[in-house]
Amino acid sequence: MPTEHKGDYDIEYSGVRLIGDTDEWIANLAIFGPSTNPMHRNAVFPLQRVSPDKVFDDEKSAEEEAHKAGVEMLENSKSCGFKH
């Protein structure tokens, strides 16, 4: 799963192929924040599907959508008091 570090946060994003006889992919995202214990990750946004109304033709497109959603969430969280 690709990871991007943005300040104190880690964005993990992926494309996951739907089960069945299909070539459709969905976008998954998790965001981890600061933790006082280096052996423990603090999931501020646990792994879940984002953009649930969309399916994608390939893994790369799904990953790009998940990454975009994660970056937007962190950008929008600045107004909520999260430190980046």
- pLDDT tens for residues 17-66? 999 989 999 999 999 998 888 788 899 999 999 999 999 999 999 999 99
Instruction: Name the residue among 83, 81, 45 with its Cα closest to residue 66.
Output: 45
The three-point CA angle 2-8-13 to 5° equals 20
Nearest-angstrom CA–CA distance, 56 and 10: 24
Nearest-angstrom CA–CA distance, 44 and 34: 9
The count of other CB atoms within 10 Å of the CB of residue 68 is 15
**pTM strictly above 0.95:** no
Nearest-angstrom CA–CA distance, 52 and 77: 21
